[in-house]
């Protein structure tokens, strides 16, 4: 069972403050916080508990908060996008938004005094920010083209929503799952190309058919567990040796999160993710506990899963399974959006599509349901000059975490530097294929450098007696059918020396040519 205040001696400081007062408790205090201002708040409420509501104090920009919502499967509508735009618009130059590596969005520049209003606004358009940070289950990812892709095995949208509803009490907040030992990531993929990086989640569901050649195959999922990136350790998820029907996915998720809640390690925060519990227990004991709580015997995993495609990035115009309709994948450089950009995207989705918008884990946008007859007009929209459907082969795959502009863990500035470097490299080189370059500002790996062709992880470097911003270079990350984590191949490159090194790597390893 969850360790309580009486056993807090062996607990880390986060466990102690959680035992004193649950993170979700601040839900009832938000009006009061808005009145007293952040300077008057208790430190743990300000720095930590607010994150249970998706509100993040930013020590880098004190008084200008970040808000992280939840967008199950990365899907939203134009009203929700406009609500985001209206929120950041009121902060002028300070307001902006970032699409995240979990198909989600974060808004910036927010004043504490405005948060009750913003919550009301979000409530009206069906948005929640609840349990999106700290020791909670994060935004649940699913196929970005679920329900549009003619080749998918399963439309993940409903299951992802059901898991979120179960874990968050329909977005109102669920104390049953608000005190996990650490964060927990869940992903479901129903397509052929593992579009959500299933292997880097604590729990993921991968399409697989049950039955031998003589039987009618039954659709379900193989289950993998324990994937994580952290400063201490990075691991791909391992098989739980369980296969479930879609109808069993929500209960299995509940049971696994409960086991993590009740038995996950809480003494050392660096070792509190699920994989550390799997190490301690072994996968057999963990599986037995899952089966016990599930209440019926679980089938073993199927040998061959259905991930047999290279990963698609969805940038461009693609036919949907609905005849006569297309989805447009827009490249959003490093995921950054202004208020005007968001109004524009909302408008595009209404004028040309069905008002629906989707995010990808590559921090890009998909606008579905564009009829063939509207494509010519769609191409004339000037916003496509900024958010191209046919960007350069480096820009289209560029991913970057937040970095030093807003994140106090950052060792380097990421987004602006990443953009400038890609622009210069594209002006020097001709490429024949996309190369996936991921930037991350520190070893926490939010920008997932280990899944990239070239991953760049921020570090500090000494050069000529000076401390400079630098990177460690990761390579060998593969995605899609043979997903495999990349490893560090070169350490401590000052950022000021990086561009020629990247140019050489692109020429010698990825077939780029000098212009
Ligand atoms: Fe992350 C902490 C941003 C995806 C691993 N991450 C943070 C914080 C909250 C730290 C903080 O309070 O400043 C960052 C907020 C900075 C800001 O102002 O934006 C932050 N993480 C992000 C985002 C926004 C990066 C992005 O630009 O896209 C992503 C938000 C996802 C979301 O919508 O919920 C984000 N973070 C990830 C991922 C990638 C993923 O989930 O696929 C990882 C690695 C995968 C994993 O978790 O196993 C990741 N973030 C971390 C860690 C290391 C976790 C650990 O076990 O040690 C931290 C540090 C921590 O939790 O103590 C962290
Ligand atoms: Fe911040 Fe580090 Fe995550 Fe980048 S990787 S957002 S710098 S915690």
Catalytic choice (27, 90, 121, 183): 183
For ligand 2, whether the C-beta of 294 sits within 6 Å is no
For ligand 2, whether the C-beta of 449 sits within 6 Å is no
Beta-strand runs (E) in 179-334: 186-188, 203-210, 218-225, 228-229, 234-235, 238-244, 316-319, 325-330
Ligand 1 centroid to residue 446 C-alpha, Å: 4
Q: Which ligand is nearest to the CA of 469?
A: 2
CB 198 within 8 A of CB 209: no
pTM of the model: 0.97
441 is catalytic: yes
Which pLDDT score, from 0 to 100, does residue 473 have? 98
Exposure of 60 by Cβ count < 10 A (0-12 exposed, 13-18 middle, 19+ buried)? middle
Which pLDDT score, from 0 to 100, does residue 348 have? 98
Question: For ligand 1, atom 19, which residue shows the shortest CA distance?
Answer: 402
Give the number of other CB atoms < 10 A from CB of residue 58. Answer: 18
> Among candidates 424, 416, 404, which has minimal Cα distance to 499?
424
Which pLDDT score, from 0 to 100, does residue 493 have? 98
Q: Is the dihedral of CA 409, 227, 102, 361 positive or negative?
A: positive
> Among candidates 456, 443, 445, 451, which has minimal Cα distance to 502?
456
CB 362 within 8 A of CB 397: yes
For ligand 2, whether the C-beta of 403 sits within 6 Å is yes
Instruction: Profile the chain (515 residues) by mean pLDDT over runs of 10 residues.
Output: 47 93 97 97 98 98 98 98 98 96 98 98 98 98 98 98 98 98 98 96 97 86 98 97 98 98 96 98 98 97 95 97 98 98 98 98 98 98 98 98 98 98 98 97 98 98 97 96 94 98 98 97
Which DSSP category does 162 fall into?
H
Which pLDDT score, from 0 to 100, does residue 3 have? 43
CA–CA separation, 465 and 478 (whole Å): 37
For ligand 2, whether the C-beta of 443 sits within 6 Å is no
Hey, is 192 helix, strand or coil? coil
Which pLDDT score, from 0 to 100, does residue 10 have? 72
Pocket-forming residues, ligand 1, beta carbon under 6 Å: 56, 58, 66, 68, 98, 100-102, 104, 106, 133, 138-139, 182-183, 185, 200, 228-231, 273, 401-402, 406-409, 444-446, 448
Give the DSSP letter string of 116-149: HHHHHHHHHTT-B-TT-SSSSB-PPB--TTTTT-
CA–CA separation, 399 and 387 (whole Å): 14
Which pLDDT score, from 0 to 100, does residue 287 have? 98
For ligand 2, whether the C-beta of 441 sits within 6 Å is yes
Which pLDDT score, from 0 to 100, does residue 11 have? 80
Ligand 1 centroid to residue 390 C-alpha, Å: 29
101: β partners: none
Give the number of other CB atoms < 10 A from CB of residue 310. Answer: 13
138 is catalytic: no
190 is catalytic: no
């Amino acid at each position: 069972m969850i360790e309580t205040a009486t056993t807090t001696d062996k607990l880390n400081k986060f466990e102690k403050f959680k035992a004193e007062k649950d993170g979700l408790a601040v839900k009832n205090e938000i009006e009061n916080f808005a009145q007293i201002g952040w300077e008057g708040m208790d430190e743990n409420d300000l720095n930590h508990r607010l994150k249970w509501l998706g509100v993040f104090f930013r020590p880098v920009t004190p008084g200008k908060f970040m808000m992280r919502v939840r967008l199950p499967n990365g899907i939203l509508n134009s009203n929700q996008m406009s609500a985001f735009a209206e929120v950041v618009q009121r902060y002028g130059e300070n307001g902006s938004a970032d699409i995240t590596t979990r198909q989600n969005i974060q808004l910036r520049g927010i004043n504490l005094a405005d948060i009750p209003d913003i919550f009301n606004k979000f409530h009206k358009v069906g948005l929640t920010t609840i349990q999106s940070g700290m020791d909670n289950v994060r935004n649940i990812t699913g196929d970005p083209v679920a329900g549009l892709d003619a080749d998918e095995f399963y439309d993940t949208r409903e299951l992802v929503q059901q898991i979120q509803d179960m874990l968050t009490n329909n977005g109102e907040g669920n104390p049953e799952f608000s005190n996990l030992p650490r964060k927990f990531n869940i992903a479901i993929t129903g397509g052929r190309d593992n579009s959500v990086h299933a292997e880097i989640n604590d729990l993921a569901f991968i399409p697989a058919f049950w039955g031998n050649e003589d039987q009618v195959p039954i659709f379900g999922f193989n289950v993998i567990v324990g994937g994580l990136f952290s400063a201490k350790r990075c691991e791909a998820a391992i098989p739980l040796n369980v296969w479930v029907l879609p109808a069993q996915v929500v209960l299995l998720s509940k049971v696994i999160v409960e086991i993590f809640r009740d038995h996950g390690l809480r003494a050392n925060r660096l070792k509190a993710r699920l994989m550390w519990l799997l190490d301690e227990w072994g996968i057999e004991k963990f599986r037995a506990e899952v089966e016990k709580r599930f209440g019926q015997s679980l089938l073993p995993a199927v040998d061959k899963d259905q991930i047999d495609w290279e990963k698609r990035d969805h940038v461009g115009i693609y036919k949907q399974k609905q005849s006569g309709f297309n989805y447009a994948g827009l490249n959003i450089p490093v995921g950054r959006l202004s208020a005007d950009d968001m109004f524009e995207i909302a408008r595009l989705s209404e004028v040309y599509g069905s008002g629906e918008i989707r995010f990808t884990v590559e921090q890009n946008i998909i606008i579905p349901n564009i009829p063939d007859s509207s494509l010519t007009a769609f191409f004339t929209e000037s916003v496509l000059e900024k958010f191209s459907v046919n960007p350069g082969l480096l820009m289209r795959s560029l991913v970057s975490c937040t970095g030093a502009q807003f994140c106090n863990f950052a060792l380097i500035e990421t987004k602006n530097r990443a953009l400038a470097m890609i622009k210069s490299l594209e002006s020097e080189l001709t490429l024949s294929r996309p190369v996936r370059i991921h930037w991350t500002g520190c070893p926490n790996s939010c920008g997932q450098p280990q899944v990239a062709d070239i991953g760049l992880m921020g570090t500090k470097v000494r050069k000529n007696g000076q401390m400079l911003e630098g990177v460690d270079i990761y390579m060998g990350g593969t995605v899609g059918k043979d997903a495999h984590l990349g490893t560090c191949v070169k350490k401590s490159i000052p950022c000021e020396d990086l561009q020629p090194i990247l140019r050489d790597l692109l020429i010698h390893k990825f077939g780029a040519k000098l212009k």
